[in-house]
Structure formats: C-alpha cells, structure tokens
Structure 1
Amino acid sequence: MSDMVPEVLNAALDSLFTPKEPGEQEYQGEDGLLYCRKCHTPVQCRVKLWGRDKIVPCLCRCQQEAMAEKKRQDELLERQRKIRKLKATGIQEKHLLEWNFAVAEDNKDIQMAKRYVEQWKKVKTENLGLLLWGDVGTGKSFVAACIANALLDQGIPVLMTNFSKILNQMGAMYSEERYRYIASFSNYSLLILDDLGIERSTEYALEQVYAVIDERYKSGLPVIITTNLKIAEIRNPQDVAYARIYSRILEMCTPVRISGEDRRKSIGKEKQQVVKEVLDL
C-alpha cells in the first residue's frame, strides 16, 4: 500500500501541473518555460517533488509588482479608513477639522505646536502635557486643534472635547457608567480639554472635573488643556475645590501663554469686508 503513495501523488501532480500552451501575453523560452512578454521574466519554474522535476506556475516580475502595489493601495485605503474613523470620534465639532497647520500663520505658537507633534514619541513617553492659557480669541483652541489634526493624520488616537460636553454626557449616567465613561478617555493617546473654566461651578461639576483630570493623571498619558483663566488664578485659587483641580493640572501640564492676534476679531473684520463688497456698502 505504501509503495502506491508516490505513484498516486505523482499522478495527482501530473494532473495539476500539465504543460500549457503560451497565452497571448506569454512566450516559451529556450529552457522550455513560459515567460511574460511584458517583463520577460518566467511565469513558470521547475521544482523537484518526490524525486521528479515538475513545472509549476510562478509570478513574473510585473505580477509581483502588481501584487505589491495592490497591497500598498489596500494598506493606504485601510489607513485612510482608520484616520476617518479616528477623526469622527476624536473631533466632534466639524469646524475644528479645518484648523490645521496648512492654514495656520507661522508664528511662535504654531512653531511650538509643530515641535510638539514632531517630538510626539518623546512627548508620550515622558507624559508632557500643556496648559495653553491667554486672553479670549488669541488662538488657544486653534493651536490645540492643529496638534490634534496633525496627530490624527498619523493615525494617533486623539480626543478633543470640553468639560461642558463631558458633564452633559454624564448627566444621565449612573455612577458605574460615569466611571467607565471617564476611563474610556485612556483609549486616546492624547486628550485635549478645551476651554477650562466655562463649565458649571457646582459641587457636582467640580467633582467630575477633578475625576476626569485625576483619571488622566493615573493613566500616565498626556493632556492638553486650554483656558481663558489667568495663570495667577490657576496658581493661586481662592477655593479649595478649584485648588486640588488646578494643582493636579499644573503637575501634569507646562503652562504656555498663547498671545496671537485675536482671531475672532480678525474673522469678524474679514466677514464685515465681504458684506461691504456683497452689499456695496
């Protein structure tokens, strides 16, 4: 019975790898193998199976290149799909998606933000957070959004939100749900909390703000916080509830003053100019 095994296998191989005539894009070489007319590399090769030479199909160079290109395109499409998904969950205010380095003026604030992105591996490893503070309209949220979009474009999970949204989300949750919700922020390599100080100042709200900040602290992951508060208010709060929040923030974040031109006034002037042109005022 065992003597019949090689014969059966050889018969099966003969049926699988029977000689074929050249196709339109092939020709037969002097070695008896078929070759691709385009790249002139073989589409067949000889292998030894159970002591016998067999001619089996193989990929010519242009087929290999086509497969490699398809793989590259598939990986690119998958990366783009991943980035779209990350942006859909990470930046929920659609206008923030338009705030990026491509439309930013190259001032010192933007240069700092670019360096933060360029040094991201070290930023994450060292847990380097930022507290972007300054007057209303100076571009704190814009700078933060530029950082967020640049990292998202690299496939890095970022969440940009604010405490008002967080508190609204938590309003209808039970305590266990609130804990899981806050813990879910650890899924993001960078958390950006915009406009600290605009949220409600009730005891419950401050308790939840501290819970979010403290959970981020425990995660060992960086956070960027923007605020219109003066740095003196953060360093010397008058209220104990604020004191423990701000103390934790200063432990996690380096204060950086953003002092750009008031973007809101600039945008307002541009709109006024457009209105004058449209209405011939």
Structure 2
Amino acid sequence: MKPAFEDMNLQIPAVTAEPEDYTGEDGLLYCGKCRTPKEAYFPADKATLFGRDRHPAECDCQRAQRMEREAAEQQRKHRDKVEELKRRGFTDPAMREWTFANDNGRNPQMKTAHFYVEHWEDMKAGNIGYLLWGSVGTGKSYLAGCIANALMEKEISVRMTNFALILNDLAATFEGKNEYISNLCRYPLLILDDFGMERGTEYGLEQVYNVIDSRYRSGKPLIVTTNLTLTELQNPQDTPHARIYDRLLEMCAPVCFSGENFRRESAQNKLNRLKQLMND
C-alpha cells in the first residue's frame, strides 16, 4: 500500500508549459506572453510539500481570463434573474418597455421616479409609497413601470398588477384567498395600476380593502396609480370607500400628474401620419 503522502503528491497538478514559456532566474516557470510566473515556491517553513518545492500559480494572463469568465458568468446569472423577476412581476409583457431609457423626457414627474429608485432602501425602511393621481394618459402607469423595471434590474422583486386582474383571480380561487393576498404582500414593492377602475360592488370593495389593508399591515411600500382626483380620495362617498382611501393616503405620498395627454397626442400623430401617407 502506498503512503498517504504519495497519493496526495499525485493530486498536485503540474504546470503545463506553453512553447513560449521560459524559466526565470529564480528557477520558476514564466509565461511567455505576460512575463509573470506560472509557479510559486512554498513558504520557507514548508520548503517542500509532498516532495515538491513549488506549486502552480496564476500568471497575469490566466488571472485576467479567469476574471473575464467569472464576470461573464455573473452577468449571465444576473440576466437570468432579472428575466425571471420580470416574467413573474408584470401582468403585461409591454410593461417591460416602460423604462427610464425609453422615456421621451417630457414627463416632469420622472425625476420623482428616479428619486424613488435611488432612495429605495429608505423608501422600504420607511414604508413610503407613491399615490400617482391625475388625468387619463398623463404617464402615471409608465412612470410606475419605470420604477418597477429599474428595481428589477437591481434584482429586487416587484409585482405590478391591477385590481381587475386581482378580483378575477380571487373569484376563481375557491380556496386559498388569504394565501393569494399573502403572496402579493411578500413582494418588497407592490404596484397597483389604474386603481378605481374596478367594479365597485360590495364584494369587490371588500376584497380591495383586504388587499390594501394586508399590504399596510405587512409594513411594505405600495405604489398606486389612479385617475381619481385627490379631492375625491380625501372626500369619499361612503364608509367602504373611506376605509380604502384612508389606508392609501396613509401609506402613499400623493404625486400629481397634470401634464398633457400623451395617449391623445400619440393618436393624433398616427392620424397625421396616415393622412400624409394617403396624400403621398
């Protein structure tokens, strides 16, 4: 039976010399490209180990190649992670394009979105959300999508949905309604788009309150977009709406969108383009 050290000796790989490599004055093998050693001596207190006085070492070329491979692998893992977050976080694939990079620069509130992303840790710690309110087509949903995409790029999980879809899901879930709502509350950030557009039935209002109240009790931030005015939110028509609106105003800082209607402008541009094509 061979001594244990002989087996261990076999496990120490030998350095593979390339044709351009050479032996330096110190007796070590050097890389012929970067002129740095491919070997290193063991420390003085271990002059030899398993019959050898040296061990393989990375030259500058090998180190650069390793770091490049590791960076590429890290980037691949990052892309996969972001892709998975966006797949689970958005209810509409078009929302993936709602990014700061695609912004036309005409929304005066976009700086508010940048601020939220840049100060995300403070927003999360303080349970601070936004209530984006204003007229139809002023860019509220797009701004919320920019926040969602930017945070997902930081590998932060976000869910952007609306109450029409939530109520449909709850109606189809005969069991596990509480679990469904709990899942919404697990996201570090929840974005509810087009709030107030859902049907105001007694059942619907109760479920809306359950979702918002559960989010409130989770201590996690919420962003809401709505076409309702701040006056309407501050002066609810009845008790069920008052319960909901009070929670929202407590959780979310109001941000007014009073700019031009981008959807109407886009529709007019398409009409003008069509007229030009017809004239041509």
TM-score (norm 1): 0.90
Offset of residue 15 of structure 1: 4.9
Equivalent residue for 1:234? 233
Number of paired residues?
275
CA deviations over 1:21-52 (Å, ceiling 9, x no partner): 84324212222221111111111222234585
- Is residue 192–residue 224 contact of structure 2 (8 Å, CA) maintained in 1? yes
Letter in 1 for 2:56: P
Offset of residue 8 of structure 1: 2.5
Q: Aligned to 1:71, what secondary structure does the other structure show?
A: helix
- Is residue 19–residue 55 contact of structure 1 (8 Å, CA) maintained in 2? no
Letter in 2 for 1:186: C
Aligned residue runs from structure 1 range 157-176, under 5 A: 157-175=157-175
Q: Is it true that 1:196 corresponds to 2:185 in the alignment?
A: no
Equivalent residue for 1:87? 86
- Is residue 9–residue 50 contact of structure 2 (8 Å, CA) maintained in 1? no
Equivalent residue for 2:19? 24
Gaps of 5+ in 2: none
Identity among equivalent pairs (%): 43
Tell which deviates more after alignment, 58-67 or 22-31. 22-31
CA–CA separation in structure 1 for the residues paired with 2:167 and 2:153: 28
CA–CA separation in structure 2 for the residues paired with 1:221 and 1:17: 53
Equivalent residue for 2:38? 43
Q: Relative to structure 1, is the Cα distance of residues 30 and 217 closer, same or farther in structure 2, using a 3 angstrom cutoff? A: same
CA deviations over 1:224-248 (Å, ceiling 9, x no partner): 1111112122111121111111111
Tell which deviates more after alignment, 78-87 or 46-55. 46-55
CA–CA separation in structure 2 for the residues paired with 1:268 and 1:223: 31
- Is residue 82–residue 155 contact of structure 2 (8 Å, CA) maintained in 1? yes
Equivalent residue for 1:150? 150
Aligned Cα RMSD in Å? 2.2
Gaps of 5+ in 1: none
- Is residue 8–residue 50 contact of structure 2 (8 Å, CA) maintained in 1? no
- Is residue 162–residue 196 contact of structure 1 (8 Å, CA) maintained in 2? yes
Offset of residue 136 of structure 1: 1.4
Equivalent residue for 2:112? 112
Q: Aligned to 2:54, what secondary structure does the other structure show?
A: strand
CA–CA separation in structure 1 for the residues paired with 2:92 and 2:157: 16
Offset of residue 278 of structure 1: 2.3
